[in-house]
Amino acid sequence: MGGCLDSELIEIMARKKVPDNIQVELLTQSARRCCLCFGIDHDYNEKSGQIAHLDNDPSNNKIDNLVWLCLKHHDKYDSSTSQSKNYTIKEVIGYRNSLYEKVNTLREAAFSSSLADVSNNKTAHIEQDLKNDIRELLGRINPIIVEKLDKGQIAIPVMISLPKVNSLQQLTTNEQFSKFLKIQPTGSVNIGFNNQVGNSINDLDQGYLQGYILYPTGSLKS
């Protein structure tokens, strides 16, 4: 029993050590879906769960080493030993990648259709809606971009995946857009997967990432 408590304590301490911004990133990426429920049981429902360290090293809080697992699968993953053929890191990473892709695709679809709704009703597309749309899109590319905007940074380099470039271009068709933002392509292209390009890139779509510099021209705060 004592051992059980100890390991629970260690786990709680380990969970506490995951920095807030990383936790937010993980919860956003996973949308609190358990990738093992998703990958194995085809269950895409939101789950109560915990942040698990793939390599079982509670001090390794890199986003790549973290995954949102439901309680059942977290227990099962942590109890993996060389003797019982439980889930391997690679297997879980594979399911996690598929899950993130699915989350992202659904978000992109929902966002595009909400943009379409707005542009179908142009009179309702007041400035505030546009600001909100720009903020939401930039936040989904990387929450840090919005922080930089709010701090008044005058030029923000970003890498953006194609689906989000398309969403951004859709926004630029609004005549008010340039009141808030100017966008200049840098011509640089990277192959990105799961946001490990550069140090400030967080665009989850698989595929090409295109370089842009954002020049804020007006406050995007509400």
Question: Binding residues for Zn ion, per CB under 5 A?
Answer: 34, 36-37, 70, 73
Paired with 160 in beta bridges are 210
32 or 179, CB closer to Zn ion? 32
37 or 165, CB closer to Zn ion? 37
Give the three-state DSSP class for 187: strand
Q: How far is the CB of 32 from Zn ion (least distance, A)?
A: 11
The label of the residue with tokens 């949308």 reads 31
Q: How far is the CB of 201 from Zn ion (least distance, A)?
A: 28
Q: How far is the CB of 98 from Zn ion (least distance, A)?
A: 14
Burial 40-68 (b: 16+ CB within 10 A, else e): eeeeeeebebbbbbbeeebeebebebbbb
32 or 182, CB closer to Zn ion? 32
37 or 54, CB closer to Zn ion? 37
Nearest to 139 by CA among 130, 129, 149, 126: 149
Q: How far is the CB of 72 from Zn ion (least distance, A)?
A: 6
43 or 147, CB closer to Zn ion? 43
68 or 212, CB closer to Zn ion? 68
Radius of gyration of the chain (CA): 20
Give the three-state DSSP class for 68: strand
Cα–Cα distance, 187 to 61 (Å, whole number): 33
Q: How far is the CB of 166 from Zn ion (least distance, A)?
A: 33
Q: How far is the CB of 45 from Zn ion (least distance, A)?
A: 10
Nearest to 89 by CA among 46, 136, 32, 35: 35
Cα–Cα distance, 50 to 120 (Å, whole number): 41
Paired with 208 in beta bridges are 191
> What is the DSSP-derived secondary structure letter of residue 1?
-
- Residue 29: count other Cβ atoms within 10 Å of its Cβ: 22
What is the residue type of 199?
A: N
45 or 188, CB closer to Zn ion? 45
Q: How far is the CB of 81 from Zn ion (least distance, A)?
A: 20
